[in-house]
Amino acid sequence: MVMSKAEWRRRRRRKRIIRKYVTLAFLALIAVLVLILLVKVVTAIFRHSDNGILSKAEDVKISQSLLSISRFARPGERLDSVDEIIIHSNNTLGKTAQEQRDYYESLKDKKNNDERQSVHFIVDLDGKIYQCIPTNEIALAVAGSNFKSISIEFCITGADGSMSAATYTSLCKLVATLCKKFGLTEKKVFRHYEKNGGFCPLFFVNDENWEQFKSDVKAIRNGKKISVTDAPMNNQLPGTEEPE
């Protein structure tokens, strides 16, 4: 069948239109990929423009008390990413943040020492926050998660692992600040024992306390205020319930 000149022109026009739209779609895809890459680069620059140093958690000042570079506490290795925030507690009743920080610092001076421990932040008995390691470096806190997590330790005032209202409030504000900084939600906040077992942090082994904590972090992250007293929310540990 012989194609008429008009039909040939129509087919040629359709091919040109198809090529045009294919080219536009390809260029649009390239533009989207470039935009995504640009957003990631800008975000990475923004996240680390502070060199891993935080000055505030909401309205709470963060004091810098950085550990010396050593393989025992602060190896100086870069984090691959921040995908998780892990909560720990200092299980020595009444021990201060400075004392705990100094303990981590002292590890490098102990002879025949195989112990390696540290955290990024410690929240003190009175709610003050100390930063021990920049947020763009690893802490030696949780085996298997050190290269993708920020670790926070809080000081305790109760034998059940509970803390003061000031400590609890500052802890919530610090976690909320880190969530906003690294684009995380409460689903990416974990208890130490969820990673490596044990009972750390002891107070948050109780799921009711933990869920309340995550709820308070979310409230602060969304710009709301929380109200906390020194009374424990629930100091009953699983498996220790009294018989009826």
pLDDT tens readout for residues 126-181: 999 999 999 999 999 999 999 999 999 999 999 899 999 999 999 999 999 999 99
Whether 172 is covered by a domain: the verdict is: yes
Whether 208 is covered by a domain: the verdict is: yes
Whether 235 is covered by a domain: the verdict is: no
Q: Give the number of domains in the chain.
A: 2
Q: Mean pLDDT across the stretch 172-195?
A: 96
Question: Of the ranges 45-49, 52-56, 158-162, which one carries the lowest mean pLDDT score?
Answer: 45-49
118 and 182 in a single domain? The answer is yes
Could you tell me the pLDDT band of residue 240, with boundaries at 50, 70 and 90? very low
Question: Of the ranges 49-63, 102-116, 132-146, 172-186, which one carries the lowest mean pLDDT score?
Answer: 102-116
- Other C-beta atoms closer than 10 Å to the C-beta of 161 total 24
Please give the backbone phi and psi of residue 155, each rounded to the nearest 5 degrees, phi first: -90, 150
Whether 243 is covered by a domain: the verdict is: no
Whether 129 is covered by a domain: the verdict is: yes
- Residue 66: which of 96, 105, 97, 95 has the closest Cα? 105
Alpha-carbon dihedral 176, 179, 180, 186, rounded to 10 degrees: -80
76 and 5 in a single domain? The answer is no
Buried b (16+ CB within 10 A) or exposed e, 31-68: eeeeeeeeeeeeeeeeeeeeebebeebbebebeeebbe
Q: Which domain holds residue 18?
A: 1-49
The SS3 assignment for 200 reads coil
**Whether residue 201 has a cis bond before it, omega within 30° of 0:** yes
The distance from CA 223 to its chain's CA centroid, rounded to whole angstroms, is 18
Look up the CATH number of the domain holding residue 132: 3.40.80.10
191 and 105 in a single domain? The answer is yes
The SS3 assignment for 136 reads coil
Which pTM was predicted? 0.76
